[in-house]
Chain A
Amino acid sequence: MTAQITTSGIPFDAQGQAEESRRRDLAMQAFVRDIAMTNAVQLEACVRCGLCAGACHFFVTTGDPKYTPIRKLRPLEQAYHRHVGPFAPLFRLLGIAPRVTAEELEQWQELIFDSCTLCGRCTLACPMGIDIADLVKQSRHGMFAAGLIPDRLELMDRTTKLWGSPATPAEDFADIIRETGEERGVAMNIDKERADYLVTVAPAELTEHTKALSDAAKVLNKMGYNWTYHSKGFEASNIGYLNGDIELQEKMTRQMIDTAVKIGAHTLILPECGHAYGAARWESARWYGEKVPVRVIHMTEFLDEAVASGKLKLKQINQTASLHDPCQLVRRGGVLAAPRNVMKALGLDLKELADAGAVGWCCGGGGGVVSNKRADPIRYRAFELKRRQVEDANAERFVTACGQCRITLNLGANKYKWDKKVDSLLELVADNLID
């Protein structure tokens, strides 16, 4: 792993010792392998109106047109037109579908990783309906194959392959669960042979957000459900999904689903993590190879159903609150009402942000950006947008349902000495259960 700089002065990281031409070929193969009818239609449909730029927090806060979302697809698009598109042979013959160069891939690393949170606001703004965020994610497959991803993300990838989680070795998981339960006085279930609910976690919950572990347990215990955490299938954030490592994505997906099936669980509960939802709820069938035989739901959906069914009674907080909508959960996942329903059940008077729900601004740290140190300066600029809207809403509390969003927002708050605490919806529920 070495940090390098392109001839045009753009920093990039490269993994392995492959020659540049080899990297380019590997990226091309991966790009081409991924292209199917749906994404071909979308790669063909752009009219270069540039309206996606106005939806991107990185363009809006920097004014730099290089961050225009559709531009981030250039290597993938070139690969498509040169090798896959209906006129590919003609374009090659006439020399009008240029080969992607290794230098271009190196330059585009910053655009595909550092300055894209996969939030999909651009997708919503695109008049042609091009799912730009999905195509950027697809571009990451080629970048990973070429060994051209940010080192920080590659480190998480390697750690996950080695440990089964980017946060902690899988063999320590059971101890963390037990210790958290003991510390907080909550009965924890771990590695049960049979359970109806398999509860999974996000990496931050094994480090700075351990309260979420006992809070999930507290809620499930309260409901009297047969549930468990499991050392063989606990990691839900799926680093492969973010990094473009499709083998790891498949492995992490299978690990969770296979464990759920093995213990006879009918429901797999995902943690408060947006990307976990994108990876497991909407993409797991692709990697599992067939329809997933268990129900996959986000913790927020679980809480919403529990409250709606009357099985979970909550104390009233009676304060005003704003909600940060995690992009993968709301804009790209359709879970719009659930967090609002739970907040209402908590007696929180919702003060919506100026841009809320499907059009809400990203926290700025999704898509692995918060883990990519190099992206800190533009991430902090993106945070400014959110801070302004939260301040304008002027609510007493600020709530979200994604641990990565919380981390990103708290980093921003620390940086700017902003005294707004970001609450977890799960933690609010667990702290306000009626005995």
Chain B
Amino acid sequence: MELLQFSRGPALTFAIAVFLLGTLWRLIGILMLERRRVDAEARPGTPTPLAAAASGVLAKMWPHKTFLKSSLFSVLNGYVFHIGLAISVLLFAPHVLFVKSLLGISWPALPSNVVLAVAVITAGSLLASLVHRLTNPVQRLISRIDDYVSWAVTFLPVLTGIAAVAHIGGRYETLLAVHILTVCAFLIWFPFGKLMHAFLFVLSRGTTAIRFKQRGAEV
């Protein structure tokens, strides 16, 4: 079997299965844990839990101005690579076509050279985040293998995607196969490490916001 066939076929199928089952398992495993009742008398005017959670999710999109100075790089760089990843994944024409072949739905894509530029910026931003993790004493101390693996499986699809689009470093078919394999690595790792924050951030921000809004405290 050709490498491209393997990557597009059994490898991707396996990766998607691990991604879906693993993500569901982890989310259900957490959500099935005991829910401790909070019976404290809420302040008058406490929003509904859903409204409180939603406001908490939104409020945490940007740090309080007091914390902005110490968090500016992380926040801005975080936005750059998250938005960059979203554009590269969702608005690149071949990706849109792939989703259409899989799910039958599609949406307009951006011109390839624009996405390529965005991907290059994203790769740079991801590299900056790695350098920051390695050089900032706090981040270096608290980092684990998960942080580096999660970084690698995020960075490699961007890098190989750029290589494939720009035809750098080998035959297109080979580059595409390698790109798809790195995406497979991303999908397989996703449920087990911190990449799950893509889902968990809503729950984490939401649960804290419900608690704090009940108290009338700032989130």
List the interface of chain A (C-beta within 8 A of B): 35-38, 40-42, 44-51, 53-55, 59, 65-66, 68, 70-71, 84-87, 123-131, 281-286, 290-292, 295-296, 330-336, 355, 357-359
Of the candidates B60, B204, B219, the one having the most CB atoms from chain A within 10 angstroms of its own CB is: B204
Query: Besides A41-B204, A70-B142, 17 other CB < 8 A contacts?
Result: A37-B30, A44-B204, A45-B197, A48-B139, A50-B142, A124-B218, A124-B219, A128-B197, A128-B201, A128-B204, A129-B57, A129-B204, A129-B207, A286-B39, A292-B39, A331-B217, A334-B217
Is A41 touching B67 in the complex (CB atoms < 8 A)? no
Task: Please pick, from A38, A70, A296, A330, the residue contacting B36 in the complex, using a CB distance under 8 A.
Answer: A38
Q: A23 to nearest B CB, angstroms?
A: 25
CA distance A87 to B30 in the complex (A): 10
Is B41 touching A295 in the complex (CB atoms < 8 A)? yes
- CB neighbours (8 Å) of A41 from chain B are 30, 200, 203-204, 207
Contact A42:B71 (CB < 8 A) given known A285-B38, A331-B217, A334-B43: no
- CB neighbours (8 Å) of B67 from chain A are 51, 54-55, 124-125, 359
- CB neighbours (8 Å) of B192 from chain A are 87
Stretch of B2-10, B21-29, B95-103, B177-185 on the interface side: B21-29
CA distance A126 to B197 in the complex (A): 13
Task: Across the interface, name the chain B residue whose C-beta is closest to A90.
Answer: B192
CA distance A331 to B219 in the complex (A): 9
Q: B217 to nearest A CB, angstroms?
A: 4
- CB neighbours (8 Å) of B39 from chain A are 285-286, 290-292
CA distance A65 to B136 in the complex (A): 9
Task: Scan residues 106-152 of chain B and give those whose CB is less than 8 A from a CB of chain A.
Answer: 133, 136-144, 147
Is B64 touching A124 in the complex (CB atoms < 8 A)? yes
Q: B4 to nearest A CB, angstroms?
A: 32
Is B139 touching A49 in the complex (CB atoms < 8 A)? yes
Task: Across the interface, name the chain B residue whose C-beta is closest to A54.
Answer: B70
Is A45 touching B216 in the complex (CB atoms < 8 A)? no
CA distance A49 to B30 in the complex (A): 22
- CB neighbours (8 Å) of B218 from chain A are 124, 331, 334, 336, 357-358
CA distance A281 to B70 in the complex (A): 33
